Amino acid sequence: MSMLVAAATFIAEGAFAAPATASSSFTFDASPEPVKKGAYVTLSGRGVADAEIDFYFKADGKSTWVYQNYTRTASDGRYSRRQAQNNSGTWKAVEWYGEDAQGPSRTDHVQVRGVQLPGVVTHYGGYYATVKPSSFDPSTTTPWWFTGVRWTRLTATAGAAVGTMHVNDCEPDCADGKYRTERVTLTFRRVRSHHGAPVFTEFRVDNDPYWTPLTPNN
């Protein structure tokens, strides 16, 4: 349940200013509630059109708000952004009308329960991860990608799947080459945090001794 911030608000991480008068038209919600550790919460609501919305998080038991990210409202005032959450705590959305014109702010508490299993960043250089994706493209330089991925095993440290590999034969060169498809087995390993979410950083095809890096390792 969202609630109005009654305490002092901040203009940057660790910097505080006098609270602005909250507007009843500014809304904010963080969901789902509860959320698994490392899973994404959706931070959404509505304010004025073309305003910057800054997001902060304060973990339970802590006194400091920590800046997380920002977005902008659309022409109808709506805004939305996903962020990974690893601890129970309170999210805060602050609306800005200009560089120095702080608007209203609202908060929403979200409890963490359980642990999110690792996902895959499905496109090179991507921000978000997907748990058990049905397709992924590991590189912008390697002419291959995978579709029809069906996961056969997923744990906190490893994953296995089967899928269809699309690969360019690059004959006479990759620009004029033809793609072929092949059913393959996929193995995933080496989990690390990517913007707060657990992700696999390496995979291999069949029993190939070479492990291909995935974002954020590639």
Q: Domain map of the chain by residue range?
A: 3-114, 117-213
pLDDT at 11: 35
Q: What is the pLDDT along the chain (218 residues), one digit of tens a residue?
A: 333 333 333 333 333 333 344 455 899 999 999 999 999 999 999 999 999 999 999 999 999 999 999 999 999 999 999 999 999 999 999 999 877 778 899 999 999 999 999 999 999 999 999 999 999 998 876 778 999 999 999 999 999 999 999 988 878 887 777 889 999 999 999 999 999 999 999 999 999 999 999 999 87
Please report the pLDDT score of residue 140 as a whole number.
72
The pLDDT, as a whole number, for residue 217 is 86
CATH 2.60.40.730 at 3-114, yes or no: yes
Mapping DSSP onto H, E and C, the string for the chain reads CCEECCCCEEEECCEEECCCCCCCCCEEEEECCCEEECEEEEEEEECCCCCEEEEEEEECCCCCCEEEEEEECCCCCEEEEEEEECCCEEEEEEEECCCCCEEEEEEEEECEEEECCCEECCECCCCCCECCCCCEECCCCCCEEEEEEEEEEECCCCEEEEEEEEEECCCCCCCCCCEEEEEEEEEEEEEEEECCEEEEEEEEECCCCCCEECCCCC
CA dihedral over 64, 8, 95, 4, signed as positive or negative? positive
The whole model's pTM is what? 0.81
Nearest partner of 74 among 57, 49, 91, 95, judged by Cα? 49
Provide the pLDDT for residue 213: 94
- C-alpha to C-alpha distance for 5 and 55, rounded to whole angstroms: 14
